[in-house]
Homo-oligomer: A and B are copies of this chain.
């Protein structure tokens, strides 16, 4: 594949025009949308409106007149459409960690005779930390974490397990798990399943209802492009809503928040999963960002995501000097998400040298260079340019400069 052929692919790309919906810095190829999505232009307009009209002019009245009070469910509905959930099962609120605590507590209450929460060693750490936190609070006799390697996962699904907690896409390797199959296998053993969609919502088609998933959580600032630290979301299957309860029962999750009764009263629906007052500015920006997906078909996104990653990998393997980069992500399309992860003995320095040259990737300890392929704004020619720069950085040994060796606090 040469530059001309890739330019042609861009011209034929049905998503090509969507790039214009984003603000992207000049001379930058942004392969880190899996960590923080770039800013859709509508977000700046919305922030302007929230600050200069809603907050500063309409003040407290905006809870009604600008429907601030409806934001968590409004944003939740938009996210629901992207993750295969019929309405009224998704709420936008809090952080992924907090939301995991809510759904995990709920799931365990539905499993009074079981206590083990099964997950993978490689799961995103905050998910594991939240299990540990709940366990420390309610005791190992009610919540005990068990971690296995992925190869051991299926045989670990027994009737001793209360909850299976999995990330749809592994944050390090980019490996995609089979949601339908794993959910079914678990449920056959009476296990409830929680999926963390941080690296799949907005990146590929997700079918929570079709897979009969019990609970899910996910992140607003990666593929949903909701801005740094954007509020997260949670999903509770309709069939569980009347039976579950969650312990972070704040006033926004009360049946009648403004009745100010002394006793908490559980509402019938997903509103029960709200806690405190939502961060309206951040949530409004996420709300606007989701409009970029309004007419986007997630199958089209998925096809382009795979094609971009395939292009990148083919170009990379065609460069002999890049042979030290070994692919960690499965090449089988059904087994990967929207990123590629390469191991390299000096992955950190390589990543820093790339960033200096305008190719934004990220590093995950100890030796992983992680590249996200986000079809709403990346072009095929970006793959070509990125690999050319990577090749140059390696050929010239530029990444071996001392300045790239020192690790920063956050990468």
**Which residues of A come within 8 Å of B, CB atoms?**
23-25, 28, 30, 32, 35-36, 38-39, 43-44, 47, 50-52, 54-64, 68-69, 94-98, 101, 105, 121, 124-126, 128-130, 132-134, 136-138, 147, 172, 219, 221, 227-232, 245-254, 258-264, 275-283, 285, 355, 360, 362, 364-365, 408-411
Interface centre among A50, A63, A254 (most CB of B within 10 A): A63
Docked-complex contact A410 and B281, CB < 8 angstroms: no
This chain: how many copies in the complex?
A: 2
Considering residues A57, A69, A129, A283, which has the most beta carbons from chain B within 10 angstroms of its beta carbon? A129
> B residues within 8 A CB of A96?
276-277
Of all chain B residues, which has the CB nearest A52? B44
A9 to B258, CA, bound (A): 37
Write the chain B residue with the least CB distance to A275.
B97
Inter-chain contact B55/A51, CB cutoff 8 Å: no
Q: How far is the CB of A85 from chain B (nearest CB, A)?
A: 22
Which residue from chain B places its CB closest to the CB of A254 in the assembled complex? B129
B-side contacts of A64, CB under 8 Å: 408-410
Q: Judging by beta carbons under 8 Å apart, are A101 and B248 in contact?
A: yes
- Min CB distance A251 to B, Å, is 4
Instruction: Report the bound CA distance from A136 to B285 in whole Å.
Output: 35
From A251, which residue of chain B is reached at the shortest CB distance? B126
CA A133 to CA B61, docked complex, whole Å: 30
CB pair A51–B47 under 8 Å, yes or no, is yes
Give the docked Cα–Cα distance between A362 and B47 (Å).
26
Q: Which residues does chain B contribute within 8 Å of A281, judged by CB atoms?
A: 47, 227-229, 279, 281-282, 285
Residues of B contacting A95 with CB < 8 Å? 94, 250, 275-278
Q: A290 to chain B: closest CB distance in Å?
A: 15
- Inter-chain contacts of A121 with B (CB < 8 A): 262
Q: Are A94 and B229 in contact (CB under 8 A)?
A: no
Q: Do the beta carbons of B279 and A279 come within 8 Å of each other?
A: yes
- Once the chains are docked, how many angstroms separate the CA of A78 from the CA of B359? 36
Contact partners of A55 in chain B: CB under 8 A = 36, 38-39, 227-228
Inside 8 A of A125's CB, which chain B residues have their CB? 251, 254, 260-262, 264
Closest to A130 in B: B250
Least distance between A57 CB and chain B CB atoms (Å): 5
| B-chain residues with CB within 8 Å of residue A128 when the two chains form the complex | 262-264
A251 & B129 in contact (Cβ 8 Å cutoff): yes
The CA of A96 and the CA of B227, in the complex, are separated in Å by 22
Residues of B within 8 A of A50 (CB): 228
Q: Which residues of chain B are near A124, meaning CB under 8 Å? A: 251
Task: Give CA–CA (A144, B44) in the complex, Å.
Answer: 47
A194 CB to closest chain B CB (Å) equals 16
> Could you tell me the distance between the alpha carbons of A219 and B124 in the complex, rounded to whole angstroms?
30
Could you give 14 example pairs across A and B, Cβ below 8 Å? A47-B281, A94-B95, A95-B278, A125-B262, A128-B264, A133-B246, A228-B277, A228-B279, A258-B409, A260-B365, A279-B279, A279-B281, A279-B283, A281-B282
